[in-house]
Amino acid sequence: NAGVTQTPKFQVLKTGQSMTLQCAQDMNHEYMSWYRQDPGMGLRLIHYSVGAGITDQGEVPNGYNVSRSTTEDFPLRLLSAAPSQTSVYFCASQSGGLPYEQYFGPGTRLTVT
């Protein structure tokens, strides 16, 4: 099993550009989520999905879109990048039953200039 994979590992965008961060998992997990990590702050939930076709907003959803057309894939779209979106982004998936163990991807470091 590859676990949770994310691409790209690094990305530099100019303000106003759009892009998609890719996330995939091969553990057949229903629950997937996107977090951002900023210095001095805990991981913050952007969007999550409880299964294919179902997504919902987390704590900091503004400026981001998600979709979940398959169980495996959960891409995060930045619609019009802003410097405030400079961060490290983590995708995670979660096992279906208790104890809901979290598996994290390796992260994407995004810089918006």
Partner 1 sequence: KNEVEQSPQNLTAQEGEFITINCSYSVGISALHWLQQHPGGGIVSLFMLSSGKKKHGRLIATINIQEKHSSLHITASHPRDSAVYICAVRLSSGSARQLTFGSGTQLTVLP
Q: Is 89 in the site for partner 1 (CB under 8 A)?
A: no
Q: How far apart are CA 82 and CA 13, in angstroms?
A: 9
Residue 46 or residue 78: which is nearer to partner 1 going by CB? 46
10-13 and 108-112 strand pairing: parallel
3-class state of residue 90 by DSSP: strand
Which CB, 19 or 88, lies closer to partner 1? 88
- Could you give phi then psi for residue 84, rounded to 5 degrees? -65, -10
For the bound state, the minimum distance from the C-beta of residue 78 to partner 1, rounded and expressed in Å, comes to: 19
C-alpha 31/C-alpha 55 separation (Å) is 10
| Position 60 contacts partner 1 (CB under 8 A) | no
Of 14 and 41, which has the nearer Cβ to partner 1?
Answer: 41
Over the window 7 to 36, marking each residue x when it contacts partner 1 by CB under 8 A and - when it does not, the resulting string is: ------------------------x-x---
